[in-house]
Amino acid sequence: MASPIEQFQIKPIIPVINFTNSSLFMVGAVAVIVGGLMLATRKRALVPGRAQSVAEVLHDFVAGTLRDAAGDEGMKFFPLVFSLFMFVLTANLLGMIPGFFTVTSHVIVTFSLAILVIGTVIVYGFVKHGTHFLGLFVPSGVPAWLLPFIVVIELISFLSRPISLSLRLFANMLAGHIALKVFAGFVVALLGAGGALTILAPLPLLMAVALMALEFLVAALQAYVFTVLTCIYLNDALHPGH
């Protein structure tokens, strides 16, 4: 029986250009997103059909999330936030198909995305506000003697953002897929064990089905959480004053 972590293995497809199964699913996610959205909006209907409604709901949902968190100024980051949301969501959901590779179950991928977010915040913050951006670490109305501690705490909290942002997504996807595989493995093991144990095989199967539903929820929810946190961090870049 395969190990529960075998599904996360990176397998080269075209070694010369480092193209692996992970790369394949990244390309696949982009193709699904762009192709799906273009196909859904090809009619440009005034009264949308089903597919176009889904595309519009996704657009409005991300736009609403961004506007709520960062205001109208935040809308300049809309393409970035929409790309992040769609990429993470599609990668998560593609991973739910049996036998498919889950791009976001690798910490380097989620960490890169988190660095992209935090990098955008830092670069935009300094470009837009200059040194005033550092006011992010100096909350107003704090007693002077407390200030050094607060600044250190704020700095640590800021630096831990990319770590928490990436680890949350990575750990959720990883743990969910491992749990699914473990319960699915139980089914096979019990069936193979024979006798009374074979009768018990449906129990982990039910569990696997329930976990599957949960994992679909987690896949969508983690994409949303990633997006919301991105919006909140971007708001810091737009309005660094506390």
| Residues engaged in binding other proteins (CB under 8 A) | 3, 5-6, 8-10, 12, 15, 18-20, 22-23, 26-27, 29-30, 33-34, 37-38, 41, 44-46, 48, 52, 55-56, 59-60, 78-80, 82-83, 86-87, 103, 105-109, 112-113, 116, 170, 174
51 Cβ neighbours under 8 A, 6+ residues apart = 39, 40
Task: Give least dist CB 157 to other proteins, A.
Answer: 25
Task: Give least dist CB 154 to other proteins, A.
Answer: 29
Indicate the residue among 186 and 205 with the shorter CB distance to other proteins.
186
Indicate the residue among 150 and 188 with the shorter CB distance to other proteins.
188
Q: How far apart are CA 76 and CA 83, in angstroms?
A: 13
Task: Give least dist CB 173 to other proteins, A.
Answer: 10
Task: Give least dist CB 85 to other proteins, A.
Answer: 10
Indicate the residue among 36 and 135 with the shorter CB distance to other proteins.
36
Indicate the residue among 63 and 138 with the shorter CB distance to other proteins.
63
Indicate the residue among 30 and 150 with the shorter CB distance to other proteins.
30
Concatenated DSSP letters of 43-72: T--SS--HHHHHHHHHHHHHHHHHHHHHTG
Task: Give least dist CB 115 to other proteins, A.
Answer: 10
Q: How far apart are CA 163 and CA 115, in angstroms?
A: 9
CB half-sphere exposure, 73, CA atoms < 13 A: 10
Q: How far apart are CA 135 and CA 151, in angstroms?
A: 10
Q: How far apart are CA 128 and CA 237, in angstroms?
A: 8
Q: Give the sign of the dihedral formed by CA 60, CA 65, CA 230, CA 92.
A: negative
Helical ranges in 130-146 per DSSP H: none
Task: Give least dist CB 135 to other proteins, A.
Answer: 30
Indicate the residue among 79 and 99 with the shorter CB distance to other proteins.
79
Q: Identity (one letter) of the amino acid at 100? A: F
Task: Give least dist CB 10 to other proteins, A.
Answer: 4
Among the listed residues 55, 102, 61, the one whose alpha carbon sits nearest the alpha carbon of residue 231:
61
Indicate the residue among 170 and 183 with the shorter CB distance to other proteins.
170
Residues 89, 94, 98, 103, Cα dihedral to 10°: -80
The H or E element spanning position 233 is helix 202-238
